[in-house]
Structure 1
Amino acid sequence: MLAATQTTNTDRIQHASALNDAKNTEQAILAYQSVLNEPSTNDQVLREQKVALIHLVRSLIDMFNEIPDCLSLQIEVCKEHIDWANDDKRIFLKQSLETRWVALYLDNKMYHESLGLISQPLKELKRLDDKMVFGGSGPDISSNISQCDLLPPPLLQAALDMQSGILHSEEKDYKTAYSYFYEAFEGYSSQEDAKAVLALKYMLLCKIMLNLAEDVHSIINGKAALRYAGHDIEAMKAIATAHQNRNLQEFESALARYTQEFNNDPIIRTQLAALYDTLLEQNLVRIIEPFSRVEIAHIADMVKLPAPQVEQKLSQMILNKAFHGILDQGAGCLIIFDEPEEDKTYETAIDTLKQVDKVVSSLYQKARQVILDSGWI
C-alpha cells in the first residue's frame, strides 16, 4: 500500500514538473496542490513513514519556487501545511515550514509581517537548544558541540556567506564583503542555484565600490561568470564603465536603462545611491576647481542637473568641508576660497602649557620632599 502510494505520488510530481517545464504554470500549480492535498499524503503515509512524507511535503513546496509569480500561492500553501503539521503534532516539520513561511514573506517584501512571524519560531528553537545543552550529561553536551562543528549543507553555507557579505558591505568593508560574496557564488554555482547570479552581481558591486571598476570586466569574462551572462550582469558592467569614466550622465543613463535590475534589489539600490552621491561630488569638485567665483546655473548646466539640486549639494559639501567657500544666494554664485593654512599657534601654546604644568608639578614634589626631610612638618 505504501509503495503504491509513493509510486503514484512520484508519477504525479513528475507530471507536474513536466507541465512546469512546458510553461503550463496553471496546470502545474494545480498538479502540485493535488498531491499536497491528497489525504494519503497527509495521513496514512505519515503514520507509516514519517520521514518520507516530510521530505515529500518540503520538496513539493520547494518546487513552487520554479514557477514564476506564485509567491502568494506559496504563502497560502505553506500556511495550510503549518496548520496541518501543528494539528498532527509534527513539531520539526512545523518549524521547518514556519521558517520557509517567513522567508516567503521576506521575498514578498512584507518585512513587518515577517518580523512578527519569526518571533515564535525563534523562541521555540532557543528553548529546544537550551534543553539539548543543559538537559544532557557530559557526553551528550560533547556530542552536541561536535554536531555544531559539522559543515552545514552547501546551500545553507552559501546563504550564510551571502548574508555576511551584505552585512560587511553595509559597514563599507567591501574587501571582506567581496570575499564572502565570492564564497557564496561558488556555493550557489556548484549547486546550480539561481542565486549565483545575485552573488555575482554583489561581487561586481564590491569591485566598483572599491574603485576597481577595471576588475569587473575581467570577472565578467572569466569562465565561471560567462554562464551567467544576461541583463543583470550587463547592468553592472554599464555602471562599472560609467564609474571608471567618472561620467555622471553615463551613470544616470545606466540607471535609467536598467531600472528593473537595480530598483528591485534594496542592497544594490542603497549602494548605488551612495556611489552616485560620491560621483556627483567628484564631478562638482572637478568643475569648480579652476574658479574662485562661479555661477550655480553654470555648474548645473555642466552636470545636467537642476540648479536647486546642485545648490543643495554644494551647501552640503561646504558643511562637510569638502572644499572651502560660501554660497551667495542673492547673486546665485558660489565663492570658493583657497585652502586656509593651518595655524599651529594654539597647538604650540597648549603644548607649552602642558610642559609648564609638568615642571611645576615636579618642583612641588621636590619642595614637599625637602620639607618632609627637614622635619618642619
Structure 2
Amino acid sequence: MEDLKRAKELLKTDPESGISLLRTLIHTELPEEENARVKEAAVLALGEVLAKQHRASDLAYLVEEIRPLFNAFPKAKTAKIVRSLIDYSSLIPDSLALQIKLCEDSIAWCNEEKRAFLRQRLETKLAQLYLDSNRYKEALDSLSVLLKEVKKLDDKLQLVEIQLIESKVYHKLENVPRAKAALTSSRSCANSIYCPPILQAEIDLMSGILNCEEKDYRTGFSYFYEAHEGFNSVEDPRALQALKYMLMSKIMCNKPEDAYALINTKGGIKYTGREIDAMKAVAHAHEIRSLHEFQAILQSYRDELEGDSVVNRHIQALYDTMLEQHLIRIIEPFSKVELSHIAELIGLPEDSVTDKLSQMILDKKFEGTLDQGIGCLIVYDDPPTSKLYDTSLKFLDTLNLVVDSLFEKATQAKA
C-alpha cells in the first residue's frame, strides 16, 4: 500500500516515474490479503492517467496485458476493472473507434473465458458506441441477440438499459412507433425495480423527445423538466441539454415569455452560456416574428443549434412555418406577381423564395403555379367548395337511422 501511495504522489510531480512504479506494482507478487486490492487500484490509477495523457495505444495495451491477472480476481472485480478502463478511454478525444475496438476485443476474451455476465455488459456498451458512431444496423443486430438472452435471465436493470438504447437507435432512424414501443418496454421494466436516478433521467429525456416528435410539446416539457431535475441532482452535464429542450418546448408552444422566465430562474442562471443564449435569441426572434433575425441567429449560433439534431429539427420546422406565414401574407393581395418582387419584400434570395413557393404549391398550402419563363407567380382563387359531400353525409346518416329502426321493428316482430 505504501508503494501505491508513493506512485499516486509521483503522478502529480513526475508522471513517467509514477506510471513506471504502477506497472511494477501490477506485475509484482504481493501478499494474498492485499494482492487483488492493490493491483486493482494500481490498474485503475494507471488507466486513468494514460487516458488523461491521451495515450490511446498504451491504454489499449494495458487492457490486454492485465488479462492473465484476472484468473486470481473475483469475477465482479474483473468486470469493474474492464468496464472502468473502457470508460476511461472516452476521456481521449475522437476515441470512438478505440472504445469500439476495446469492447470487441474484450467481448472475444469473455467468450473464450466463458464470462457471460461481463460479456452482456460489454455488448450493451458496444451497442451504445455503435449508436454514437452512427452504425445503426450493427447496433440493432447486437441488441436483438442480447435482448433475447437477457430476457431469459430476467435481469430487469439491464433490460431497461438495452431497451432504452434500442429506442434511441429507432429514433435516429426516424421510426417513431418502434422507438415508442421500445421506450414503453424500458419504462415498464424500470417501474418494477429500483431505477438509478441517472437512468431514470435518461428515460424521461427520451420520453420528452418522442412526445415532441408527435408535436405534443406540453407533455414533452414535463418530461424534460423531470430529466433536468434528475441530471441536476447528480451534477450531470446533460442537465444543460434537458434545459435546452425545455426552452425549445416553450418556444414551440408559442410561449417565448415562459422561456425567458425559465432562463431567469436559479436553475437557468446556473447554466448560463452560449447554449442558453442561442435559445433565448430564438425565443426573441419568434416573439417579434422576424425572419431576418431568425436567419442571423441560425448563422451566429450554428454550432449550438445545428449541433443538436433534436433542437435543429424543431427550430428548422419553426423557421419554415414562419416563412410560410410571411409568404402567404405577402402574396395574398396579388393574382399575379413577380418572384423578384416577393424576394425583395421578404428580404430573401429569389432562388430560396422560388423553392419554398413551389414546395408550398405541392403541399397545397395555396392554389397557384410558377411561370418561370417570365419569373412570375400566378395565384388562383380558392375553388368553390362543393356541397355534395355534406349532403351525402346527411343522407347516409338518415339512411342509417331508417335501417336501425327497421331492424328494431323486425326484432320485435320475431319476439
Does 2:306 align with 1:279?
no
Name 1:219's counterpart in structure 2: 262
In structure 2, the CA distance between the partners of 1:26 and 1:296, relative to structure 1 (3 Å rule), is: same
TM-score, normalized by length of structure 2?
Answer: 0.72
In structure 2, what is the Cα distance between the partners aligned to 1:101 and 1:349?
59
Name 1:116's counterpart in structure 2: 141
Q: Secondary structure in 1 aligned to 2:276?
A: helix
* 1:86 aligned residue (107, 111, 127): 111
Does 2:219 align with 1:191?
no
Name 2:54's counterpart in structure 1: 26
Structure 2, gaps ≥5 residues long: 1-31, 156-187
In structure 2, what is the Cα distance between the partners aligned to 1:361 and 1:150?
52
Give CA-to-partner distance per residue, 1:153-180, whole Å, 9 cap, x none.
1111111111111111111111111111
In structure 1, what is the Cα distance between the partners aligned to 2:230 and 2:320?
33
Does 2:98 align with 1:68?
no
Name 1:158's counterpart in structure 2: 201
Q: Residue 204 of structure 2 contacts residue 223 of structure 2 at CA under 8 Å; is this kept in 1?
A: yes
State how 1:194-205 maps to structure 2 within 5 Å: 194-205=237-248
Name 1:59's counterpart in structure 2: 84
Does 2:278 align with 1:246?
no
Q: Residue 48 of structure 2 contacts residue 85 of structure 2 at CA under 8 Å; is this kept in 1?
A: no
In structure 2, what is the Cα distance between the partners aligned to 1:115 and 1:36?
27
Q: Residue 13 of structure 1 contacts residue 35 of structure 1 at CA under 8 Å; is this kept in 2?
A: no
Q: Secondary structure in 1 aligned to 2:79?
A: helix
The aligned amino acid for 1:217 is Y
In structure 1, what is the Cα distance between the partners aligned to 2:379 and 2:90?
57
The aligned amino acid for 2:63 is L
* 1:129 aligned residue (154, 158, 163): 154
In structure 2, the CA distance between the partners of 1:60 and 1:298, relative to structure 1 (3 Å rule), is: same
Q: Residue 105 of structure 1 contacts residue 113 of structure 1 at CA under 8 Å; is this kept in 2?
A: yes
Name 1:317's counterpart in structure 2: 360
In structure 2, what is the Cα distance between the partners aligned to 1:284 and 1:209?
20
The aligned amino acid for 2:281 is A
* TM-aligned CA deviation for residue 91 of structure 1: 0.9
Q: Residue 75 of structure 1 contacts residue 104 of structure 1 at CA under 8 Å; is this kept in 2?
A: yes
Give CA-to-partner distance per residue, 1:67-95, whole Å, 9 cap, x none.
43322211122222212222211111111
* TM-aligned CA deviation for residue 129 of structure 1: 3.4
In structure 1, what is the Cα distance between the partners aligned to 2:37 and 2:61?
14
* TM-aligned CA deviation for residue 272 of structure 1: 2.2
Once structures 1 and 2 are overlaid, which stretch shifts more, 167-176 or 11-20? 11-20
Does 2:286 align with 1:259?
no
In structure 1, what is the Cα distance between the partners aligned to 2:211 and 2:189?
29
Name 1:133's counterpart in structure 2: none
In structure 2, what is the Cα distance between the partners aligned to 1:147 and 1:175?
23
* TM-aligned CA deviation for residue 122 of structure 1: 2.0
Q: Residue 181 of structure 1 contacts residue 200 of structure 1 at CA under 8 Å; is this kept in 2?
A: yes
Q: Secondary structure in 2 aligned to 1:109?
A: coil
Once structures 1 and 2 are overlaid, which stretch shifts more, 43-52 or 251-260? 43-52
The aligned amino acid for 1:3 is E
Name 2:25's counterpart in structure 1: none
In structure 1, what is the Cα distance between the partners aligned to 2:405 and 2:263?
68
In structure 2, what is the Cα distance between the partners aligned to 1:230 and 1:184?
20
In structure 2, what is the Cα distance between the partners aligned to 1:172 and 1:82?
41
The aligned amino acid for 2:40 is N
Whose radius of gyration is greater, 1 or 2?
A: 1
Q: Secondary structure in 1 aligned to 2:337?
A: strand
Q: Residue 13 of structure 1 contacts residue 31 of structure 1 at CA under 8 Å; is this kept in 2?
A: no
In structure 2, what is the Cα distance between the partners aligned to 1:361 and 1:202?
52
* TM-aligned CA deviation for residue 110 of structure 1: 2.4
In structure 2, what is the Cα distance between the partners aligned to 1:235 and 1:103?
29
TM-score, normalized by length of structure 1?
Answer: 0.78
Does 2:210 align with 1:167?
yes
Once structures 1 and 2 are overlaid, which stretch shifts more, 280-289 or 85-94? 280-289
Once structures 1 and 2 are overlaid, which stretch shifts more, 337-346 or 175-184? 337-346
* TM-aligned CA deviation for residue 103 of structure 1: 0.6
In structure 2, the CA distance between the partners of 1:18 and 1:147, relative to structure 1 (3 Å rule), is: closer
* TM-aligned CA deviation for residue 288 of structure 1: 2.7
* TM-aligned CA deviation for residue 339 of structure 1: 6.1
Name 1:36's counterpart in structure 2: 63
In structure 2, what is the Cα distance between the partners aligned to 1:79 and 1:335?
61
Does 2:349 align with 1:306?
yes
